[in-house]
Amino acid sequence: MAKLVEMDERVGIFAQMAENVGPIILINKFSVGPEDFDEFLKAWATEAEKFKQQPGFISTQLHRGIGGSGTFVNYAVWESAALFKRAVNTVMNPQDRMSAYPASTVASPHLFKKVAVPGICVE
């Protein structure tokens, strides 16, 4: 079973899902042992396929660190935190979700919103 480690010790993913905000970005950083890469990718693909079918889902992309890295980052866009929360509760309960991943997996999910910085990026 995978382990959940909050990305920000001040606010957890479940508290974030209660926020009334959207659109939101889910960034989920995974650390995976090299012996479990194939199993991890299979579990992630199965879960992502289920999330794709949920209301509010916009897109997702999985990235892997280069140079032999065991770090993966999932970047997913959702219409709102409320719809993401609904999807999380619909697809499967968190305990079952974590059980689907190899034991070496450490997941750190966090919700974000875009920030405007004048002259550099737009909201």
Which one, of 60, 98, 75, lies nearest residue 28 by Cα?
Answer: 75
The answer to whether the CB of 32 falls within 8 A of the CB of 72 is yes
Kindly report the backbone phi and psi dihedral angles of residue 53, in degrees, each rounded to the nearest multiple of 5, phi listed first. Answer: -85, -5
Q: CA–CA separation, 112 vs 65, rounded Å?
A: 21
Task: Please give the pLDDT value at position 7.
Answer: 97
All domains of the chain in start order, with CATH: 3-112 (3.30.70.100)
Query: Across residues 63-89, what is the average pLDDT?
Result: 97
Q: CA–CA separation, 105 vs 29, rounded Å?
A: 10
Cis bond before residue 23 (omega within 30° of 0): yes
Torsion of CA 60, 66, 71, 74, to 10 degrees: -10
Asked whether residue 93 carries a pLDDT value surpassing 80, the answer given is no
- pLDDT tens figures, 30-40: 999 999 999 99
Beta carbons within 10 angstroms of residue 45's beta carbon: 10
